[in-house]
Chains A and B, each alone.
Chain A
Amino acid sequence: DTEVTQTPKHLVMGMTNKKSLKCEQHMGHRAMYWYKQKAKKPPELMFVYSYEKLSINESVPSRFSPECPNSSLLNLHLHALQPEDSALYLCASSQDSSGAEDQPQHFGDGTRLSIL
């Protein structure tokens, strides 16, 4: 079992739908991340939140909208997605981003998203 919980595990949606992915951790971590992973490829960083503030946006299209309601929760709001957005979306957390180097990331098992 992972310490980062992602829901739902699977999501199928049409291109006009609005849905949200959720991520939760209770390790007291203050940095949280969203990654996109296509089949047989490495994870690609999308967003980083540090102390509940967006610190990195890797030029992600605006149809993906992140939100960090509190230090334990991270959401990814989806709207008007394209078929090429079908992928595994991974959430991760780490202790903080205040300059400490030894900060492994803890990953959830992801949400497998399919866009029809």
Chain B
Amino acid sequence: SQQGEEDPQALSIQEGENATMNCSYKTSINNLQWYRQNSGRGLVHLILIRSNEREKHSGRLRVTLDTSKKSSSLLITASRAADTASYFCASVPRKTSYDKVIFGPGTSLSVIP
């Protein structure tokens, strides 16, 4: 079952611009994670935000979480061509095993040099 939706499905920007991706989910969560997947590769964990946190930073990444709206956003600042990838939000629904991560449909980001 799909827990979340992501917006936009595809995003194309120039190098140096900022990229913002949004994620919505349906049920209460323990935490929300963002992953990146380069073409033909596995997923790489980027950042995790707990349900009691509102904002978190890691390098050029900024994640926000609004539990009242059941939504999260991922901001990548000063994008680089190497940021070209698919980005997935993944939520761990409350009242389920912590193992059960449910991925959103993903945003395909293209950064044009």
Please, which residues of chain A bring their CB within 8 A of the CB of B30? 101
**Does B42 contact A101, Cβ atoms closer than 8 Å?**
no
Asked if B65 is at the interface (CB within 8 A of a chain A CB), the reply is no
A2–B40 Cα distance when bound, in Å, is 13
Q: Number of A residues contacting the other chain (C-beta, 8 Å)? A: 30
Please, which residues of chain B bring their CB within 8 A of the CB of A56? 97, 99-100
**Does A43 contact B98, Cβ atoms closer than 8 Å?**
no
State which of A2, A40, A41, A45 has its C-beta within 8 Å of the C-beta of B101.
A45
Please, which residues of chain B bring their CB within 8 A of the CB of A97? 97-99
Chain B, 1-51, CB within 8 A of any chain A CB: 2, 30-31, 33, 35, 40-45, 48, 50
Asked if A48 is at the interface (CB within 8 A of a chain B CB), the reply is yes
A48–B98 Cα distance when bound, in Å, is 11
**Does B100 contact A110, Cβ atoms closer than 8 Å?**
no
Q: How far is the CB of B40 from chain A (nearest CB, A)?
A: 8
State which of B40, B48, B98 has its C-beta within 8 Å of the C-beta of A99.
B98
Q: Mark B47-59, 1 if CB is under 8 A from A, else 0.
A: 0101000000000
State which of B35, B44, B100 has its C-beta within 8 Å of the C-beta of A45.
B100
* Chain B interface residues toward A at CB < 8 A: 2, 30-31, 33, 35, 40-45, 48, 50, 88, 92, 97-106, 108
